[in-house]
Each structure stands twice: as structure tokens, then as C-alpha cells.
Amino acid sequence: MKYPKIVLILPMLILAFSLGHAQSSKDSYDSLWEKVANLEKDELTKSALEQVKIISAKAKKEKNSAQVIKALLFTSKYALILDED
């Protein structure tokens, strides 16, 4: 009878762990993008671009394509702004 309990508990633990990890990763990106927004608000474009490069490297390492694309868009945006100066 112990075997069925393990079969039920193990997938639940794996699911709980993976959901917790996904949420912490989302929170991590949220805080990084918040830094970018604050730097942009303070008109620190070069610093914002550096922060986006950090996010891009993290996203590539974690194979997070949505964050890679977002970082690419922001990199292009800041490159255009810095080109004007």
C-alpha cells in the first residue's frame, strides 16, 4: 500500500518544485526589468542598455526565448536613442 502513496506524492512534489522555480524566475526577470524602467525614467540610457545586456545573457543561458526577444527589442530601442546623441 505504500507504493501507491509514493506514486501519488512524487509527481505532486515535482510539480510543486517546478512551479515554484518558474515563479521565482519570473520574479527575477520582473525585478531586472523594473531596474531598466527606473534607469530609463532617470534618462540613463547607457546604463539601461547595460542592464538589458545582462538580462539578455541570463535569458540566453536559461533558454527563455520570450525574454531574449524582449531584450532584443529594448537593445534596438536604446541603440537608436544613443545613435541620435
At residue 42, the pLDDT reads: 96
Domain span including residue 72: 2-84
> Which residues, other chains included, contact 65 with Cβ-Cβ below 8 Å and sequence gap of 6+?
59
Distance CA 69, CA 40 (A): 19
Distance CA 28, CA 34 (A): 10
Alpha-helical regions (H) of 42-63: 45-62
Mean pLDDT, contiguous 10-residue spans, the chain (85 residues): 61 60 73 96 96 97 95 94 82
Distance CA 46, CA 59 (A): 20
- When divided into structural domains, the chain yields a total of 1
At residue 17, the pLDDT reads: 58
